[in-house]
Amino acid sequence: MPEVFEPKIVAFFCNWCTYLAADLAGTSRIKHAPNARVIRVMCSGRVDPQFVLDAFAKGADGVLIGGCHPGDCHYQEGNYKALRRVALLRRLLKQMGIEEERFRLEWISAAEGERVKTVINDMVEKLRALGPRVQPVRKEVA
């Protein structure tokens, strides 16, 4: 049986919006693809480009940053700081041969549990279409 490629996504979710949205998806039992691994940061502005590159370097198939909607940042404008960094980082990643679908910045408010599902499912689908970024040696879960 041909195995479906399961991309691994490292997700940086801000504590106040997107992490809570993922919690809400949980309490609302909104089922979605299990490919994202969430790292909680206080604000999307905390996401150092080094984290993104490190995740790609260590074999992530995709990196997702989730923050509050523009204007709604718990820290007033950390998400705008993230936006600026991401704009430049995106250009750099492109030059490094990393397809743009692999790196996403999404605004997901604490109320948008459904959107967590939409974004993750959509990203997984796109990453599946792209195929593995690097071919990590996988061992089956015992």
Binder among 18, 41, 66, 104 for other proteins (CB under 8 A): 41
Q: Does 130 bind other proteins (CB under 8 A)?
A: no
Q: Give the containing element (helix H, strand E) for 117.
A: helix 113-130
Q: Does 101 bind other proteins (CB under 8 A)?
A: no
Whether 32 contacts 125, CB under 8 Å:
no
Q: How far is the CB of 126 from other proteins (least distance, A)?
A: 17
Q: How many residues bind other proteins (CB under 8 A)?
A: 76
58 CB neighbour count, 10 Å cutoff? 11
State which of positions 16-35 bind other proteins (CB under 8 A).
Answer: 16-17, 19-20, 22-23, 25-27, 29-32, 34
Sequence-ordered list of residues with C-beta below 8 angstroms from that of 55, at least 6 positions apart, any chain: 10, 63
Whether 65 contacts 40, CB under 8 Å:
no
Q: Give the containing element (helix H, strand E) for 81.
A: helix 78-95
Binder among 91, 100, 129, 131 for other proteins (CB under 8 A): 91
Binder among 7, 43, 62, 108 for other proteins (CB under 8 A): 43
Q: Does 4 bind other proteins (CB under 8 A)?
A: no
